[in-house]
């Protein structure tokens, strides 16, 4: 059974104590600040994206770094349109998801130290494990460890297309590295991948970012090597990249919860994950302080959007406080204790700050999901 | 015994699995990215600041939000020069520190919802608990709950001086609120506090920021009300504010670990808390990718400084990666697997991302400390 709705019991007194509200509790009675997921909106997003991939040759590989929550990943796989596995961004995440029922996990990252490579090989005894490479010395290290541990690793060559963070150059360098993988015992050459950055709302921009990857596929196949996987795209451009002939999988993940950064570009999806905070101070008309700050929402890359205030402007987030201006000219005057809804700018940063997600439907608590891979950056 | 060195045993398989290195392990063999504290540097910072407060009338109230770690807070109290208690920024933090041996805890924040006020009263049965107020309705709510629960809460009037985040205005509004606290059963008027923002390196700026608080103290005492506590200052200006006649306590905390934001202003302290990361990709000369990104270091308010590279510039932090330029003209060429040391811009944001701190002395692991109040923002 791929779909499993995980109801976390109160097993760890150190976490989230002292109050777990009973299932059925009205949302506004939950403590704040909390990460609250509207299950109807989440299921809308999952089925909408699954439907797209059902009708295209490229398939989805849900990238779970954006929520780190097995309960949500199981829903994504249950939705269809996927390759049968997930993508993660660290071995620590893979170590959480494999025992939670995921048996095809691609670590979309470089793994270079001996102890991390050992962990990768240990996982490969339990599930199909992929990893990215961008250097011949890393290929040699992975191969040696795979052989020593009697396992086989799927390996994808990480090609540097647009973003330029890392990866080998398209064309010849990628072909040479693919050959090195093919020749290395213990490694199975899976194909090639790229990452183009987080937001590519311009369709032509996405196509031109992907083209070097498609050209590289041809180069590698011309060298007599089969390329099974061509991975590219993300939530922001899944409709463009997922329809490009030659792309086989799209590691999108943010579409599940969505966030303030992506929502304007994807009006057919819903902001399913939001932080509920509380007004704690009202120093002046049109200005409020809430209990939702950086530690509950995240501010690494941008401020949250605010749902239920007229003309809101987030002035800033300190460690534990949000500072929000709003239009008080129509008499808006939220009292101490009233709830304010914030859509985080970056869902992944936000989810990583929470131990649990409170899943609600029709404004009542339906389940508490553990963010099991929170903090698993190693 | 105030001092206790906490050696956390491997009791929770979900956290930090799978590898806890043995005590004595050389630092560079610890997994990355890790928050590593040099105990010698930590003790230097603690004794240096304690010595200052020993010889001034104002005393220290260590603000533990900056590290969230009982092991460090116990060292701070063992160091001397303090009021006998700590400051926290949320009830969730107080709920961690009280059972860890702290019996005088000031929640330097507003607590307004019924469920949080209930938690505050429950704590007040176990320890001396203080809280801040900035509105008469909150005073009434706290009083009602304290009486109903048979406890007494210390209450400080939060005065808005310079930063303007929240708080009552100095002078008459503060006097009126102090009177309301004095008249409220179940509440003990402790005094007044302010927060002036995070960095005030200019001495005159600090003095002028504090002056309205000192004037307000006089106003309240002229109204016949004793003011026991006048709390102001932080790590950035502790030497100025802590020497001002009339200030009774300084809630400083960042001095313990220090961070890249404060270090330039406090050359007599050491950067004791740093993130060790690993080079995972070397796309070009003078450029590297590490495994230390936002999720391990934090980037809410600024980028980390880098210790062991020539002329380093942090280009950016993505979720799990650091992008760092450096001067390769002298032949610097870090290999895959080499360690890079990053001092976070904001120690508090960084500590909040880690479940454990690896405490090292003379480059060997001496203890593993739990960041027990990580994520306790509620």
Asked if B65 and A319 come within 8 Å (Cβ–Cβ), the reply is yes
- Residue A367: asked if its preceding bond is cis (omega within 30°), the reply is no
Asked if B90 and A281 come within 8 Å (Cβ–Cβ), the reply is no
**Residue B317's closest chain A neighbor by CA?**
A300
Q: Of B112, B114, B295, which has the smallest distance from its Cβ to A352's Cβ?
A: B295
Please give the pLDDT value at position B163. Answer: 64
Q: pLDDT 10s per residue in chain B (378 long)? A: 222 322 333 333 333 333 467 889 999 999 999 999 999 999 999 999 999 999 999 999 999 999 999 999 999 999 999 999 999 999 999 999 999 999 999 999 999 999 899 999 999 999 999 999 999 999 999 999 999 999 999 999 999 987 667 899 999 999 999 999 999 999 999 999 998 766 677 888 889 889 999 999 999 999 999 999 999 999 999 999 999 999 999 999 999 999 999 999 999 999 999 999 999 999 889 999 999 988 889 877 788 999 888 889 998 888 888 999 999 988 889 999 999 999 999 999 999 999 999 999 999 999 999 999 999 988
Indicate whether B22 belongs to any domain.
no
Q: How confident is the model at residue A316 (pLDDT cuts 50, 70, 90)?
A: confident
Instruction: Determine contact, residues B277/B321, Cβ cutoff 8 Å.
Output: no
**A20-34 average pLDDT score:** 89
What is the rounded distance in angstroms from the CA atom of residue A342 to the CA atom of residue A296? Answer: 10
What is the CA angle A33-A293-B314, rounded to 5? 135
Q: Of A33, A34, A300, which has the smallest distance from its Cβ to B300's Cβ?
A: A300
Chain B residues touching residue A294 (CB < 8 angstroms): 300, 349
Asked if A31 and B319 come within 8 Å (Cβ–Cβ), the reply is no
Please give the pLDDT value at position A14. Answer: 37
Please give the pLDDT value at position B316. Answer: 85
Indicate whether B15 belongs to any domain.
no
**Residue A296's closest chain B neighbor by CA?**
B377
Chain B residues touching residue A282 (CB < 8 angstroms): 135
Same-domain status, B33 and B113 = no
Instruction: Give Cα A190 distance to the centre of its chain.
Output: 22
Same-domain status, A207 and A236 = yes
Of B236, B257, B278, which marks where a domain is finished? Answer: B257
What is the rounded distance in angstroms from the CA atom of residue A248 to the CA atom of residue A227? Answer: 10
Residue A9 has pLDDT above 90, yes or no: no
Residue with the larger pLDDT of the pair B367 and A229: A229
What is the rounded distance in angstroms from the CA atom of residue A63 to the CA atom of residue A85? Answer: 9
For tokens 């770094």, name the residue: A65
- Residue A51: asked if its preceding bond is cis (omega within 30°), the reply is no
Instruction: Determine contact, residues A322/A293, Cβ cutoff 8 Å.
Output: yes
Indicate whether B139 belongs to any domain.
yes
Same-domain status, B73 and B184 = yes
Judged by DSSP in three states, B204 sits in helix
What is the rounded distance in angstroms from the CA atom of residue B262 to the CA atom of residue B251? Answer: 15
The CA R_g of chain B, rounded to the nearest whole Å, is: 22
What is the rounded distance in angstroms from the CA atom of residue B34 to the CA atom of residue B126? Answer: 34
Q: Residue B104 belongs to what H/E stretch?
A: strand B104-110
Shortest Cα distance from A283 to chain B (angstroms)? 6
What count of Cα atoms within 13 Å lies in the side-chain half-sphere of residue B259?
25
Indicate whether A61 belongs to any domain.
yes
- Residue B53: asked if its preceding bond is cis (omega within 30°), the reply is no
Shortest Cα distance from B240 to chain A (angstroms)? 24
> What is the per-residue pLDDT across A80-91, written as a single tens digit (0 to 9) for each?
999 999 999 999
Same-domain status, A49 and A34 = no
Asked if A116 and B348 come within 8 Å (Cβ–Cβ), the reply is no
Asked if B31 and A336 come within 8 Å (Cβ–Cβ), the reply is no
Q: Residue A347 belongs to what H/E stretch?
A: helix A347-351
Give me A352's structure tokens: 């990583």
What is the rounded distance in angstroms from the CA atom of residue A26 to the CA atom of residue A114? Answer: 49
Of B257, B289, B317, which marks where a domain is finished? Answer: B257
Shortest Cα distance from B298 to chain A (angstroms)? 7
**Residue B323's closest chain A neighbor by CA?**
A165
What is the rounded distance in angstroms from the CA atom of residue B79 to the CA atom of residue B61? Answer: 12
Asked if A112 and B279 come within 8 Å (Cβ–Cβ), the reply is yes
Q: What is the DSSP letter of A159?
A: B
Indicate whether B3 belongs to any domain.
no
What is the CA angle A221-A120-B282, rounded to 5? 65
> What is the per-residue pLDDT across A98-134, written as a single tens digit (0 to 9) for each?
999 999 999 999 999 998 999 999 999 999 999 999 9
Same-domain status, B228 and B120 = yes
**Residue A281's closest chain B neighbor by CA?**
B166
Asked if A378 and B280 come within 8 Å (Cβ–Cβ), the reply is no
Which of B15, B275, B320 has the highest number of chain A CBs within 10 A, making it the mutation to test binding with A?
B320
Q: What is the DSSP letter of A237?
A: G
Of B206, B224, B257, which marks where a domain is finished? Answer: B257
Asked if B166 and A289 come within 8 Å (Cβ–Cβ), the reply is yes
Find all residues with CB under 8 Å of A176, minimum gap 6, and list them.
Answer: A136
Find all residues with CB under 8 Å of A105, minimum gap 6, and list them.
Answer: A85, A86, A87, A88, A94, A97, A98, A123, A127, A128, A129, A130
Same-domain status, B275 and B334 = yes
Q: Of A319, A323, A375, which has the smallest distance from its Cβ to B348's Cβ?
A: A319
Same-domain status, A198 and A344 = no
Chain A residues touching residue B165 (CB < 8 angstroms): 289, 318, 321, 323
Asked if A19 and B115 come within 8 Å (Cβ–Cβ), the reply is yes
Give me A169's structure tokens: 């150059």
What is the rounded distance in angstroms from the CA atom of residue B58 to the CA atom of residue B62? Answer: 13
Asked if A375 and B353 come within 8 Å (Cβ–Cβ), the reply is yes
Q: Which residues of B156-170 are buried (b: 16+ CB within 10 A; e: fewer)?
A: bbbbbbbeebbbbeb
Give me B18's structure tokens: 């799978």
The CATH number of the domain holding residue A244 is 3.20.20.10
Q: What is the DSSP letter of B63?
A: B
Give me A186's structure tokens: 């213990």
Residue ranges of E strands in A64-135: 86-88, 104-110, 128-133
Please give the pLDDT value at position A372. Answer: 94
Q: Of B138, B166, B295, which has the smallest distance from its Cβ to A377's Cβ?
A: B295
CB atoms within 10 A of CB A36: 20
Judged by DSSP in three states, A95 sits in helix
Residue A47: is it exposed, middle or buried by C-beta count within 10 angstroms (0-12/13-18/19+)? middle
Q: Of B89, B95, B319, which has the smallest distance from its Cβ to A320's Cβ?
A: B89
Residue A9: is it exposed, middle or buried by C-beta count within 10 angstroms (0-12/13-18/19+)? exposed
Q: Of A19, A279, A300, which has the smallest distance from its Cβ to B294's Cβ?
A: A300
Please give the pLDDT value at position A346. Answer: 94
Same-domain status, B153 and B56 = yes
Same-domain status, B311 and B235 = no
Instruction: State how many domains chain A has.
Output: 2
Q: What is the mean pLDDT of chain A?
A: 91
Instruction: Determine contact, residues B272/B235, Cβ cutoff 8 Å.
Output: no
Asked if B294 and A95 come within 8 Å (Cβ–Cβ), the reply is no
What count of Cα atoms within 13 Å lies in the side-chain half-sphere of residue B293?
23
Asked if B281 and A349 come within 8 Å (Cβ–Cβ), the reply is no
Asked if A378 and B336 come within 8 Å (Cβ–Cβ), the reply is no
Shortest Cα distance from B194 to chain A (angstroms)? 14
Q: What is the dihedral of CA A208, A210, A216, A220, to 10 degrees?
A: -150
Which of B291, B344, B348 has the highest number of chain A CBs within 10 A, making it the mutation to test binding with A?
B291
**Residue B138's closest chain A neighbor by CA?**
A336
Same-domain status, A63 and A118 = yes
Instruction: Determine contact, residues A37/A68, Cβ cutoff 8 Å.
Output: no
Indicate whether A145 belongs to any domain.
yes
Same-domain status, A60 and A138 = yes
Q: Which residues lie across from A37 on neighbouring strands?
A: A273, A359
Indicate whether B17 belongs to any domain.
no
Shortest Cα distance from A300 to chain B (angstroms)? 4
Q: How confident is the model at residue A4 (pLDDT cuts 50, 70, 90)?
A: very low
Same-domain status, A31 and A69 = no
The CATH number of the domain holding residue B272 is 2.40.37.20
> What range does the domain containing B333 cover?
27-38+266-370
Q: Of B89, B109, B336, which has the smallest distance from its Cβ to A138's Cβ?
A: B336
Asked if A90 and B14 come within 8 Å (Cβ–Cβ), the reply is no
Indicate whether B54 belongs to any domain.
yes
For tokens 């809630």, name the residue: B251
Asked if B319 and A348 come within 8 Å (Cβ–Cβ), the reply is yes
> What is the per-residue pLDDT across A258-275, written as a single tens digit (0 to 9) for each?
999 999 999 999 999 999
């Amino acid at each position: 059974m791929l779909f499993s709705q995980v109801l976390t019991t109160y097993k760890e007194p150190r976490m989230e104590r002292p109050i777990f509200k009973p299932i059925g509790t009205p949302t506004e009675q939950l403590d704040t600040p909390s990460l609250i997921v509207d299950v109807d909106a989440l299921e809308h997003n999952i089925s909408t994206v699954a439907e797209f991939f059902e009708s295209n040759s490229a398939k989805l590989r849900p990238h779970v770094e954006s929520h780190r929550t097995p309960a949500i990943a199981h829903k994504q796989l249950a939705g269809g349109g996927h390759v049968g596995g997930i993508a993660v961004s660290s071995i620590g995440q893979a170590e959480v998801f494999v025992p939670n029922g995921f048996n095809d996990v691609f670590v979309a990252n470089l793994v270079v130290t001996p102890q991390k490579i050992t962990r990768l090989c240990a996982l490969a005894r339990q599930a199909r494990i992929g990893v990215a490479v961008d250097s011949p010395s890393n290929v040699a290290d992975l191969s040696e460890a795979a052989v020593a541990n009697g396992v086989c690793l799927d390996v994808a060559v990480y090609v540097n297309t647009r973003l330029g963070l890392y990866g080998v150059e398209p064309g010849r360098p990628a072909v040479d590295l693919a050959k090195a993988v093919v020749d290395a015992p213990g490694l199975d050459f899976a194909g090639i991948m790229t990452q183009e950055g987080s937001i590519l709302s311009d369709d032509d921009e996405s196509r031109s970012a992907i083209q070097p990857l498609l050209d590289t596929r041809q180069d590698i196949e011309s060298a007599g090597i089969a390329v099974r996987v061509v991975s590219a795209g993300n939530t922001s451009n899944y409709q463009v990249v997922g329809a490009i002939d030659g792309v086989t999988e799209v590691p999108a993940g943010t579409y599940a919860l969505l966030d303030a950064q992506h929502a304007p570009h994807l009006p057919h999806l819903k902001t399913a994950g939001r932080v509920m905070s509380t007004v704690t101070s009202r120093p002046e008309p049109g200005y409020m302080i809430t209990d939702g700050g950086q530690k509950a929402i995240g501010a690494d890359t941008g401020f949250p959007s605010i749902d239920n205030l007229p003309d809101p402007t987030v002035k800033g987030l300190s460690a534990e406080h949000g500072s929000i201006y709003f239009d008080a000219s129509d008499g808006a005057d939220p009292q101490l204790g009233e709830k304010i809804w914030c859509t985080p700018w970056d869902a992944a940063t936000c989810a990583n700050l929470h131990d649990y997600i409170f899943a609600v439907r029709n404004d009542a608590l339906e389940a508490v999901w553990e963010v099991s891979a929170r903090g698993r950056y190693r």
